[in-house]
Amino acid sequence: MQQVIPKLYVGSDADVLEAKRRGYARLTAAKDGPDGHREILGYTTRSAPKGPNYLFATDEGGNHAAMNLIDVDDPQFIPEEMILKGIAFAQEMWKEGKTILIHCNAGHSRGPTTAMLFLRSIGELPQPFNRARKIYKALYPPFDPGHGMEYIARKLWDEIAPKG
């Protein structure tokens, strides 16, 4: 678990227990693993049950959310709506003054990319994508997005920038 700015940590499954112990809000960018989408909803089938929580679910306490997100090269399997819901959840926790852990299984692609997009959304990465990517990699060296995640990040980059 690495702090990238005050009140924002990025990490992997290995960091979940410590984040819970510290009382951090958590955004899981993974279908499986501790705190994953499958764990929140409790399904045992291969795919998530269809319905309002298919892409994104929050726990009963409201301080933890998970995306039904797999790390694939083909961006058509990474719904933008799901990523935007994750960013909105992180923004809500941020506005409430909570410390947040954004993580995925290994802490290289899905979680860190979502955290980078969150930073963009709150004005912390105002630079064009390529420059911001280099800055973010310096803040979080394990960052190594898969092709699909990087494609989605590039596509959403200008859309999620703060207006005004």
Structure tokens at 26: 């958590």
Please compute, for residue 125, the number of CA atoms within 13 A of its CA located in the half-sphere on the CB side.
27
Q: Is the pTM of this model over 0.85?
A: yes
For residue 27, what are the CA distances in angstroms to 43, 55, 106, 115, 126? Answer: 19, 13, 14, 9, 22
pLDDT of 115-158, one tens digit each?
999 999 999 999 999 999 999 999 999 999 999 999 999 999 99
Q: What is the mean pLDDT of residues 103-115?
A: 98
Judged against a pLDDT cut of 80, whether residue 21 lies above it is answered with yes
Structure tokens at 67: 């995306």
Domain assignments of the chain as residue spans, ordered by start: 2-156
Judged against a pLDDT cut of 90, whether residue 164 lies above it is answered with no
Helix, strand, coil percentages in the chain from 3-state DSSP, rounded to 5: 40, 15, 45
Structure tokens at 122: 């709150």
CATH number of 2-156: 3.90.190.10
pLDDT of 44-86, one tens digit each?
999 999 999 999 999 988 999 999 999 999 999 999 999 999 9
pLDDT for residue 60:
86
Q: Are the beta carbons of 65 and 83 closer than 8 angstroms?
A: no
Distance of alpha carbon 120 from alpha carbon 32, whole angstroms? 26
